[in-house]
Amino acid sequence: MKEAENASDKIECLVFLNESLRNSLWAGEKLALEIAKQNIEKFRKANVTIRIVDETGKPIENAKIVVKQIDHEIMFACNTRNFEMRDSLANFDIYLERFKELFNAGMVHFFWPTFEPEEEKYRWETRDVAVNWLKSNGLRIWGHLLIWLHEWNVPEWAKRKTYRELKEIIRKLCYEPACRYRDSIYFWNVFNEPEWGNVLQLSVDQQIELLKIGLKAVNEANPEAVRMINLTIIWGEYVAWERTAEGLAKRRLLTPIQFLKEVERRGIYYEAIGLQLYMGFGGTGSGFSVRDMFTISKIIEKYSQLGKEIHITELGTPSRFENTDKFRFFKVVTEAGYWHKPWDEETQADWIEQFYTIAFGNPNVKSISWFDLADYKNAFVPWSGLLNEDMTPKRSYYRLKNLLNSWLTNNEGITNKYGEYSFRGFKGRYKIKIMKDEKMINTLDLNVKSDIKVVITLDLS
């Protein structure tokens, strides 16, 4: 900045100002990343003590304890939209293997036109297949898109309904999936993209009424379900544009945070906030321009202050810096900016590593979901797959896999004279083996949510 103040002309001044801005952005990202790493150590781990005693209560010394973490505390998920194309998608079996190697959860969507193409004629087959596969492989599940009033998602038959008729339709649309999958899906995106997706041109009052209907329906179907409002364009730019997804707005819009505060003001209860964080495609006015990691960390913090669980629900960045006609939804990449350098596989991998670290470093974040695992025609973000179209992994796949594995705790040791073995590990589910004189004596399944001390009594007779 001093060089800019002392510059001999405006051009030289601008050069120094740009350099100052660049250095500030780099410093901000490094600061955000370092804070996240410290928070991971502080908030994502717990102290565990295992005490081994015999039937008389006497401590057992020199027992060997083998600790293996088998799952994370939070969900690391991906969309399962490819299940709809499983019969036509090449190498689908490889897709399934890659999926379960990387993620511990799956997002099952209920895209209205394909789920209910005719009134009350629900198509369960694809969802059943996805849910059953996820369950059979020990993966967690969350349900996506119960209410989404975007022009892409409201079927033609529903557009012809009166608002009074629509309320009952929405109630069933939320109740039926939550009821059918009440033993499998405990987390639901009840209302997606309020204010932005509004092809029916509903008022704020009407949207909130539908939200209330949906929340109540899911709760009636499954009282244990976590219910979420999922937000897009989370900095609220569409208010400044005076636009919704369908075009020019006919009234003043609420930003995502204003909408949530209005819901709170009316005393409507829900459990979770979803944040979409797509970046690097779509061009000006899409809401997907690139942001630096410091800014990203601050927006997650801002939503965390609202007192709800935070879920990163939809996530994607390109691995190529080129426009294309290959994909169905978006074709423009080069007009949305890039991060550090034009997008390539290495840059995508770097971005993913830093983003997941920053998100995991916020203790309010309960899940992170990548949207499209592979580059296929219906991928939402161009070139955003962690796999190529032929299902070969990109660098980002391996980078994310290594990162997630680094957040699992595996170690071993022996009990001391007090019969205790202690470690500090990541929260989540563990399989503990207890051995004495090289023989397996006992095993223990342990779900670590906070500091814990476990006493195990062994029969050594």
- What string of H, E and C letters represents the secondary structure of 46-90? EEEEEEEEECCCCECCCCEEEEEEEEECCEEEEECHHHHHCCCCC
Cα separation, 281 vs 316, in Å, equals: 10
Q: What is the mean pLDDT of residues 132-153?
A: 97
Q: What is the pLDDT of residue 5?
A: 61
- 255: enclosing H helix or E strand: none
Cα separation, 342 vs 231, in Å, equals: 27
Question: Residue 298 pLDDT > 90, yes or no?
Answer: yes
Question: Residue 388 pLDDT > 90, yes or no?
Answer: yes
pLDDT in tens, 204-253: 999 999 999 999 999 999 999 999 999 999 999 999 999 999 999 999 99
Q: What is the pLDDT of residue 3?
A: 63
Q: What is the mean pLDDT of residues 44-62?
A: 97
Cα separation, 48 vs 44, in Å, equals: 13
Contact (Cβ atoms closer than 8 angstroms) between residue 281 and residue 382 = yes
Cα dihedral: 218, 176, 186, 314 (round 10) = -90
Contact (Cβ atoms closer than 8 angstroms) between residue 241 and residue 283 = no
> How many helices, marked H, and strands, marked E, lie in the chain?
13, 18
Nearest CA-CA partner of 33 in 255, 292, 395: 292
Q: Which CATH superfamily is domain 46-63+415-458 in?
A: Carboxypeptidase-like, regulatory domain (2.60.40.1120)
Model-wide pTM > 0.85: yes
3-class DSSP state of 234: coil
pLDDT in tens, 394-422: 999 999 999 999 999 999 999 999 999 99
Question: Residue 25 pLDDT > 90, yes or no?
Answer: no
Q: What is the pLDDT of residue 251?
A: 97
Question: Residue 88 pLDDT > 70, yes or no?
Answer: no
Average pLDDT for the chain: 94
Lowest-pLDDT choice from 74-83, 178-187, 301-310, 353-362 = 74-83
Question: Residue 167 pLDDT > 70, yes or no?
Answer: yes
Instruction: Determine the CATH number of domain 74-406.
Output: 3.20.20.80
Q: What is the pLDDT of residue 283?
A: 74
CB atoms < 10 A from the CB of 202, how many? 17
What are the backbone dihedrals phi and psi of residue 296, each rounded to the nearest 5 degrees, phi first?
-60, -45
